[in-house]
Chains A and B, each alone.
Chain A
Amino acid sequence: MDKFRMMAQILQSNQESFMNGICGVMALASAQLYTSFEFNCPCIPEYNYSYGISMLVIPPIWFFLLGFVLNNNVSMLAEEWKRPVGQRRKDPAVMRYMCVSISQRSLIAPAVWISVTLMDGKSFLCAYSMDLDMSELGKNVSGHGLSQEELLRTLAKIPCKHIYDGQHILSREAATRYIRCISQAFGWLFLLIITIAAFLIRAIRPCFTQAAFLKTKYWSHYVDTERKMFDETCTDHAKSFAKTCIKQYFEGISGEIQSFHDHSRGDDSDDEDDKPATEEDKLMGVRRQDTMNKVLWDWHTCKPPLSLRKSGDASTEQNGDLYYSKV
């Protein structure tokens, strides 16, 4: 039992911790990308806003999609969604759960980018320097003698240290400080909101749907495990198929049949537990190309029901009513 407990620990911790690891790596990549990216505000009235806002919004979308691409469970979700009903009904709750958990993990890197961008303040400064209300900084709004357009052009140059020429009207540092302060306030507010949302989802959820949650968690993990098991079984089967095929080919050429070789090896061992499974057994009765094709075809188009036969029961499989609990 100890071996199995350790295996379960590794399995459970591995799947989750692997996904969490990818999530963390993407968050760090997002922060690193921001620091290494050279922000370059155009300082022109027509383009400032677009540049600033797109720096705030487009990389998060990119990270979100990247999260979907890197997540293995996406193909699993798509497969479960698209398969024909066959002998196994589809559970929309399970698909919702998988979709939500994939989205949650993919949302972390974009959130990191947005909060780092807001805390740093450069993109906010670039986008909103022209909307600056000079009376906030204690400056006389109309005492500078510039037309509206010239004023806008001067304000647009605030993010660029080296070309700003309005020092006599408005101190660049004071304006930068003010706008950055607003940007940081938005950043902290954003972090507070997503933390409260996550808190409500995780801490308050057990109040509402705990029993249903246990079920969907079990079945979504089951779907994942079953897919892996199927792939493993197919690989083993292919190996046995190939071995048997080659053996039979050699036998066909040489004219000798060596089919008793495996059985005699098995009889020699005294210990029943250590009897190796012969290649024949591993084939599980599937020995032709068209049969194997049928296996693979039916796996998608007509998945078997979630109802195991007892080991001594060689008769037709149970086709009893599939009890489906709607929660």
Chain B
Amino acid sequence: LMDRLKLVLQYFQSNSESISNGICIILSLISVKLYTSFDFNCPCLPQYNKMYALGVMLVPPVILLLLGVLVSRHTGVLMEEWVRPLGNRTKNPAVRKFLLSSMLQRALLAPMVWILMTLLDGKCFICAFSMNVNPKYFTGIPNSTGLELIKIMAKVPCKEDAIFKNSSFRKAVSRYVRCYSQAIGWSILLFFIFLGAVGRVLKPCFNHATFLQTRYWSNYLDIEQKLFDETCVLHARDFARKCVVQFFESMREDVTVRMPLSNALRPSSIHNEHEEEEEERLHGITRQDQVDHLLQTWYECKPELDLCIMLDSEQFKLWTMPGKKPHPTI
């Protein structure tokens, strides 16, 4: 079981794009579920019909767009890359643009799904535009109630109203407006699919090499941030374990061990291998101010993308001392 879990985790971690795609699809499914469970309730009043219908068609897509931007991982990476101080690492505007466009593309899917669903279903359109239909083309208009024409037309979306009891007028007008709504919906869908296909086909013709570079570096930024968070988690765990053990040991009763004699006399000598490994994982960061300095520097002065420099242990030690910023040598 642990092996399978490991495989699954490794797959997800290696493919951050697939996670973003998965989230995008889940949001679209949420959008569909939300639409089907929402009880559309046209007011059937001339002054409020349009406002309600257009509100239902446009406000949820805005909400879904903001949600899509919120839950995307790229947002955090993009914002951090955008506002960080320059430090030792130059900023690449192409990477920012790539991140922004890929985030927006994914975030726009759920709103489009909602808009298309409202158009293909037709209820919003009927509610908004039933008053704009010319009733002369339809027979059976109930003009015995004494209401104005526009009020009658405004009541068309509401099935249960008594004035339409014995005529097929309401159904005819609804069908007519629905037909328009579905036509618009299908055209929009066709347009976007066409746009997507053309874009996909023509993209390699323009700057493919630059595109490969920007994609690599934006993926790199994402992975780097994830790995930094993981390393911080591991470090915190080792720090905590060591702190607790040292706290226990500081309360020891046997005073003789406090003398700095040979290690063989100390009961914890057997732990040495374990302790060394743990110390290695701590990377020499063993105090609160060191941790604070490390986290501050990570944001304010990101290291250069040049691994040869980091191998120099002298430079590396300087990173951990507060107040000093090493100069990268070539």
Contact = CB atoms under 8 A, between A and B. Distances in A.
Contact of B243 (A214, A275, A308): A308
Interface stretch (B133-141, B176-184, B210-218, B231-239): B231-239
A325 to B, nearest CB: 5
A302 to B, nearest CB: 10
Contacts of A221: 232-233, 236
Interface string A175-219: 001101100110011011001101100111011001100110011
B240 A195 contact: no
A58 interface: no
Contacts of B247: 295, 299, 304
A286 B158 contact: no
Interface residues of B, number: 90
Q: Which of A199, A237, A285 has the most CB of B within 10 A?
A: A285
B273 A184 contact: no
Interface stretch (A38-46, A75-83, A314-322): A314-322
Contacts of A121: 39, 41
B300 interface: yes
A249 interface: no
A180 B40 CA distance: 10
Nearest to B258: A314
B43 A203 contact: no
A192 B70 CA distance: 13
A323 B288 CA distance: 8
B253 A285 contact: yes
Contact of B84 (A6, A210, A317): A210
Contacts of B279: 310-311
A137 interface: yes
Interface stretch (A9-17, A101-109, A250-258): A9-17
B69 A203 contact: yes
Contacts of B83: 206-207, 210
A47 interface: no
B63 interface: yes
A201 to B, nearest CB: 9
A173 interface: yes
A260 B300 CA distance: 57
Interface in B48-88: 48, 52, 55-56, 59-60, 62-63, 66-67, 69-70, 75-76, 79-80, 82-84
B166 interface: no
Nearest to A120: B39
A interface SS class: helix
A284 B248 contact: yes
Contact of B271 (A222, A277, A286): A277
A138 B273 contact: no
Contacts of B82: 206
B189 interface: no
A199 B69 contact: yes
A275 B69 contact: no
B270 A304 contact: no
B299 interface: yes
A181 B41 contact: yes
A72 interface: no
Interface stretch (B200-208, B260-268, B303-311): B260-268
A41 to B, nearest CB: 17
B229 interface: yes
B324 interface: no
Interface in A271-309: 272-273, 275, 277-278, 280-281, 284-288, 291, 294-295, 298-299, 304-309
A136 B46 CA distance: 10
Nearest to A209: B299
B43 A177 contact: yes
Contact of A294 (B246, B251, B288): B251
A257 to B, nearest CB: 18
B298 interface: yes
A185 to B, nearest CB: 7
Given A11-B233, A225-B237, A295-B247, A275 B44 contact: no
A288 B279 CA distance: 29
Interface of A: 4-12, 119-121, 136-138, 171, 173-174, 177-178, 180-181, 184-185, 188-189, 191-192, 195-196, 198-199, 202-204, 206-207, 210-211, 214-215, 218-219, 221-222, 225-226, 228-230, 233, 237, 266, 272-273, 275, 277-278, 280-281, 284-288, 291, 294-295, 298-299, 304-312, 314-315, 317, 322-325, 327
The 9 closest A-B pairs by CB, nearest first: A285-B252, A323-B289, A306-B288, A308-B286, A226-B240, A206-B79, A181-B43, A211-B299, A284-B248
14 contacts: A177-B158, A184-B52, A207-B79, A207-B83, A210-B83, A210-B299, A225-B240, A226-B243, A266-B270, A281-B267, A298-B251, A306-B287, A307-B286, A322-B288
